[in-house]
Amino acid sequence: MTTEQDALQATLLPPELEGEATPPSSPPDGGGESQQPPSETPSAVTPEPTPAPAPEPTPTPQIDVEALQRQVMQQDQWIQAYQERQRQEEVKTAAATYKAQLEATYNYSEEQLNAMTGQFEQYENSKVEMQRNYIAALNNERAKIQTAMHFGQKYGVDAQTLLQYDSPWAMEQAGQQVQRIAGLEKKVGDLTKAQVPPQEFNSPEGTGSASNSDFMAGIANNRIPLTEANSARLEKILYPDG
């Protein structure tokens, strides 16, 4: 149907109007030249920031224990010297006050006043000296107890046993000796508990019928004398392959 209408229209239209049937297509912008879309300029790549290097660990300062102890001892000496000077000043002040009281109360000569003031100073100094000795003895006793507890814990010894010694060196030697004796006693006790096949040996002490465990226990407890025969038996028990 559409083809017949087109043919009829073509016969009815004059020739000069035939070209208007189809409108001309408009040429593309720019005189017919095709335009490409503008190319995108690649953006500049921002570099990642370089991480800062990790700080080096600060070395731990080494403590000079001996130098620290010397410093503490020096400070103690300074304090003691200062306290001594202060004590002397206090005694002199007290002596001057005492002399002034004597002058105001009694009609003593200058020689008598000086003699009595000197005695007063000696008395005051003796009191301070006694107090100082008491404090020193108390500190020494405290240090002695602490030392005995230290070596007692180190060697497994009762601290009361070590208090009879006067020096740390003697306490340590005694602690080592007690520890050594305890170790020997334990070793002998372990040997007496060892399971050894019973053996019979003739002995003039009548110990041949005793078991090896009883025999070794008797030797350890000094109930059986360590004679030549018993020594031979003990060697056979301890060294059966010898």
Q: Can you give the residue range of the structural domain that contains 219? A: 193-238
Is 216 within a domain?
Answer: yes
Q: Do the Cβ atoms of 116 and 97 come closer than 8 Å?
A: no
- Considering the domain architecture, whether residues 170 and 140 belong to the same structural domain is answered as yes
- Considering the domain architecture, whether residues 93 and 144 belong to the same structural domain is answered as yes
Is 205 within a domain?
Answer: yes
In 3D, which of 133, 128, 130, 135 has the Cα closest to residue 89? 128
- Considering the domain architecture, whether residues 204 and 142 belong to the same structural domain is answered as no
Number of domains in the chain: 2
Is 233 within a domain?
Answer: yes
- Considering the domain architecture, whether residues 83 and 165 belong to the same structural domain is answered as yes
pLDDT in tens, 53-90: 777 777 766 777 677 778 888 888 888 888 888 888 99
- Considering the domain architecture, whether residues 85 and 166 belong to the same structural domain is answered as yes
Q: Which H helix or E strand runs over 41?
A: none
- Considering the domain architecture, whether residues 128 and 207 belong to the same structural domain is answered as no
The last residue of one of the domains, among 146, 174, 202, is 174
| Rounded-to-integer distance, Cα 212 and Cα 46, Å | 93
- Considering the domain architecture, whether residues 163 and 95 belong to the same structural domain is answered as yes
| 97 pLDDT above the threshold of 90 | yes
- Considering the domain architecture, whether residues 218 and 147 belong to the same structural domain is answered as no
Is 89 within a domain?
Answer: yes
Is 26 within a domain?
Answer: no
Whole-number average pLDDT of the chain:
74
pLDDT in tens, 112-156: 989 999 999 999 989 888 988 888 888 888 888 999 899 989 998
Confidence tier at 181 by pLDDT (50, 70, 90): confident
Six token digits for residue 214: 């009883």
Q: Do the Cβ atoms of 91 and 121 come closer than 8 Å?
A: yes
- Considering the domain architecture, whether residues 170 and 207 belong to the same structural domain is answered as no
Share of the chain above pLDDT 70, in %: 64
- Considering the domain architecture, whether residues 168 and 202 belong to the same structural domain is answered as no
Q: What is the pLDDT of residue 14?
A: 53
Binning the chain into helix, strand and coil, the percentages to the nearest 5 are 65, 0, 35
Is 10 within a domain?
Answer: no
Is 45 within a domain?
Answer: no
